[in-house]
Structure 1
């Protein structure tokens, strides 16, 4: 299920720090209007950001752009040790306000953040350098925590080897009707749903909703529906040994040929090839028997 997260303030600023210790990371597609910087320690699994799906391991650092659906997923460790996550959520308008009112040094960082489309995967060298400071961020308080965060963001901007996830920039503050439509879509995308039904939920015409998708998300209802369903199917391919027919039906595709067509269009390969390639990269981390 995909949910919308509403992020409150932390330390008097428009940002929030979440520190998690967990046995495993469940697949939970969600989105929110903040940037999300996530450090994952001691896990091996899959990272979904927008249309991008990739294996990650041990020490992983990624930045998710506003309103981009995303999820991490990882099974429990074989040695019984816990998985640690450090998650920072912040708004660009907060940093812009700081830059305009006494901290002009932040202007270049704001410009860098503004060009991020779906997200950024940071290089192993940058991740190893930043991880110790980010992992200790929750132990700091007040001004020390804030200055440490700004220092970390400044270091990330310097990572010339970072991988930028391609895609269209999503408007940070979308129309409330679009938010209502997307919230419903991302909760019910595994069920039969139409643009007209979504328009009724959003209290607008289908024509208006179609325009909002195009203008504010540079996308369409059908593209967003396919993105959510294929992300769900990709996770099932990576975490179960179930057949393609079963995965298609569990991902909202009663027609197997339609599933093959949309999966190949979005992932650039067939479901079987996607699973086979993933097993070749990380044979010990797939087919965990998790059923969703």
Structure 2
């Protein structure tokens, strides 16, 4: 499957869609003209927005701009999870944000969203609670609550821009490579010996051309991406109670010292400290 355009069909009587998708067994590399706010609770998962690829732990709150390619945040999850998604039309509320001074901060938030915005700290906690509360409201009150959510996000300094440039779908429209095949290959082989020559052949490119393509798509080398995928998988295994040495072997890194070095480089702490901090 190439990148897909998701057709968002909110109720004709509503300007946005609030729902709780569950797609962990489905690779959905997609885009849509609508803005999207995603909150997910999971032990750990993959965050792929535009050219940014990383992982989250515990929960994630991301605001994605119009036509930014992204992977579903629950893809490949092996543990239970909860997810709330809001999709809203562009332009949202017509010209209201342009003509109403009280909406200036929210308008600026929408303008920045093309980079993909990840929120943490107290902002993430507060917005998660606001989104849960929204589910119990009627449509008009949901709209008012959504404006409060956006105002909370707009005022927050607990935000990271995931991309440093425009990564909207216009930059991806000539992509003829099946990213699904690449992800599936890595998922099936990350604990063995993934071979860049093999996946390049599968997607009908020379190795050099594939490496250029992959770097352009993800802003990472194939090797760095595989290693990050390994570490993402290792987080789940650690939280399931496996020892550090077992996990290193299970994700295909037979050198415990190399696994430990890589884990600390990517996560910012050693594997034992990670398990103590996040395991319930």
**Fold similarity call, TM over 0.5:** yes
1:131: which partner in 2? 129
The Cα offsets for residues 130-162 of structure 1, whole Å up to 9 and x where unpaired, read as 734553247655xx4994586256324423232
The offset of 1:120, in angstroms, is: 1.5
1:216: which partner in 2? 217
CA distance in 1, matches of 2:45, 2:272: 19
CA distance in 1, matches of 2:122, 2:209: 44
The Cα offsets for residues 242-267 of structure 1, whole Å up to 9 and x where unpaired, read as 22221112223234343233223212
2:119: which partner in 1? 121
Distance 1:29 1:165, change over 3 A: farther
The Cα offsets for residues 40-90 of structure 1, whole Å up to 9 and x where unpaired, read as 6xx78556645344445xxxx6116553674597978xxxxxx86422356
Q: Once superposed, what is the RMSD of the aligned Cα atoms?
A: 4.3
The offset of 1:26, in angstroms, is: 11
Structure 2-normalised TM-score? 0.66
Indicate yes or no: 2:157 matched with 1:161. yes
1:10: which partner in 2? 9
1:10–1:17: 8 Å Cα contact kept in structure 2? no
Distance 1:107 1:208, change over 3 A: farther
2:70: which partner in 1? 67
The offset of 1:198, in angstroms, is: 1.5
2:200: which partner in 1? 199
1:77-88 paired onto structure 2 within 5 Å: 85-88=83-86
1:80: which partner in 2? none
Indicate yes or no: 2:54 matched with 1:51. yes
What SS does the corresponding residue of 2:237 show, helix, strand or coil? Answer: helix
1:37–1:88: 8 Å Cα contact kept in structure 2? yes
2:121–2:158: 8 Å Cα contact kept in structure 1? yes
1:184–1:198: 8 Å Cα contact kept in structure 2? no
Indicate yes or no: 2:229 matched with 1:225. no
CA distance in 2, matches of 1:8, 1:33: 10
